[in-house]
């Protein structure tokens, strides 16, 4: 009876689960209560399991979130060019040193995602960046995917590459001090999304997650549903439910330990070009509805991406989602929504470093308060209210 009722519930909330993830995979391992002639898969505990759980809980700690500074060298170059700086390793190192050496950052930031170059860099005084983070009780993380490429056979969609050699790279990142990883793939609503693109995104994320856990890294699972499009919020909800249903199916198929992962979802919003803008309360309602339907409570943390929202929008939406208790730690993993004002304050000038670090603390504290449900937008600057959406944005 339990089996049939569960199937009925899933089918009613998403035809995708009933028709795609279960019925068409009748030969795969059973995940629901099964009859005696079908085997039940059990997630195997690996040698890093205890450490993974500890790392995930540290990152998903009250009032703290993730600072994402894992931009590729090409994307970092675009950011530097916006303030008139050349894209050199020296300039990239100087900017990331500004961010990571900010006094008091660990009060609001529990983890920082680094690009490979940054993971192996040091301050100008010779202290490794990973040690700078550890001294503030911030967990070092690493971007491990190799970027997006066109997906043949799809509707002009993309897939994320980087599985080749991932195990050996992850082992080296662990030795260097990284303790969690990030893999970003994207789903485009204007392009469909096609069943092929959704399946490819979900399978790639699941393989990456299993490999990461096998090498001691907590995987951040990030299928970003892009803001591009003029669709209503209801369409975003539909696609998000479909994508996350597929992702968790394949995570389970790959024996990923749910207690040792973190999620980095998009908030459920209307398309950036939709005629009506949703309020923070509406975004919170739709986003939490999606999460409660799709994400097991075993997952320790939901670390939202900002995806081109303004600094204030991202903070207001997070605050709205923390007005009542959630089954998981609901927090942030922001890049532009933490760095935009910082970069413009710095302008590449040594004399502006202190002011830029204060700007970072202001944004980090604002999102810390939002995670606790205690944020107020009173006194926010006009710069922080400016949207950062770029159509067709690439990292």
**Catalytic: which of 116, 224, 241, 264?**
264
CA distance 222 to 206: 10
Closest CA relative to residue 109, chosen from 71, 140, 75: 140
The full DSSP string for 337-359 is HHHHHHHHHHTT-GGGHHHHHHH
Q: What is the 3-state secondary structure (H, E, C) of 108-153?
A: CEEEEEECHHHHCCECCCCCEHHHHHHHCCCEEEEECCCCEEECCC
Q: E strand or H helix at 329, and its extent?
A: strand 329-334
CA distance 215 to 213: 5
* Half-sphere exposure for 280 (CA within 13 Å, toward CB): 19
DSSP label at residue 301: E
Closest CA relative to residue 227, chosen from 317, 342, 161: 317
CA distance 203 to 193: 15
Determine the angle formed by the axes of helices 353-371 and 336-346, rounding to 10 degrees.
160
Task: Output the CA torsion sign for 120, 124, 128, 129.
Answer: negative
Answer yes or no: 157 catalytic. no
- Taking CA atoms, 256 is separated from 40, 211, 217, 218, 303, in Å, by 15, 9, 12, 10, 18
Whether 181 contacts 173, CB under 8 Å: yes
CA distance 184 to 223: 6
Answer yes or no: 222 catalytic. yes
3-state secondary structure (DSSP) of residue 135: helix
**Catalytic: which of 200, 222, 224, 311?**
222
Displacement of CA 46 from its chain's centroid (Å)? 24
Catalytic residues: 222, 264
């Amino acid at each position: 009876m339990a089996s049939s009722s569960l199937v009925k519930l899933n089918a009613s909330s998403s035809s995708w689960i009933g028709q795609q993830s279960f019925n068409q995979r009748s030969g795969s391992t059973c995940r629901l209560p099964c009859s005696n002639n079908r085997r039940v898969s059990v997630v195997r505990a690996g040698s890093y399991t205890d450490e993974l759980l500890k790392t995930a809980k540290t990152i998903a700690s009250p009032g703290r979130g993730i600072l994402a500074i894992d931009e590729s060298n090409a994307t970092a170059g675009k950011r530097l060019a916006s303030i008139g700086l050349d894209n050199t390793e020296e300039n990239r190192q100087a900017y990331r040193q500004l961010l990571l050496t900010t006094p008091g950052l660990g009060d609001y930031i529990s983890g920082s995602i680094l690009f490979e170059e940054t993971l192996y860099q040091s301050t100008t005084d010779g202290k490794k960046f990973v040690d700078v983070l550890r001294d503030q009780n911030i967990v070092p993380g690493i971007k491990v995917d190799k970027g997006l490429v066109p997906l043949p056979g799809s509707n002009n969609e993309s897939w994320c590459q980087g599985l080749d050699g991932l195990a050996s790279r992850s082992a080296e990142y662990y030795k260097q001090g990284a303790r969690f990883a990030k893999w970003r793939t994207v789903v485009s609503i204007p392009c469909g999304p096609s069943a092929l693109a959704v399946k490819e995104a979900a399978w790639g994320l699941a393989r990456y997650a299993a490999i990461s856990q096998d090498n001691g890294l907590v995987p951040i699972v990030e299928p970003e549903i892009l803001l591009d499009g003029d669709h209503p919020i209801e369409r975003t909800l539909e696609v998000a439910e479909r994508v996350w249903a597929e992702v968790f199916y394949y995570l389970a198929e790959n024996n990923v330990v749910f207690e040792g992962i973190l999620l980095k979802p998009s908030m459920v919003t209307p398309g950036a070009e939709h005629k009506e803008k949703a309020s923070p309360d509406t975004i919170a309602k739709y986003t939490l509805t999606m999460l409660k339907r799709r994400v097991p409570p075993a997952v320790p943390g939901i670390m939202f991406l900002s995806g081109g929202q303004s600094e204030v929008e991202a903070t207001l939406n997070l605050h709205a989602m923390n007005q009542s208790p959630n089954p998981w730690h609901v927090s942030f993993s922001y890049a532009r929504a933490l760095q935009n004002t910082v970069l413009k304050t710095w302008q590449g000038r040594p004399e502006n470093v202190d002011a830029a670090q204060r700007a970072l603390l202001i944004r980090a504290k604002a999102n810390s308060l939002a995670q606790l449900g205690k944020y107020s937008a009173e006194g926010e600057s006009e710069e922080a209210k400016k949207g950062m959406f770029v159509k067709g944005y690439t990292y």
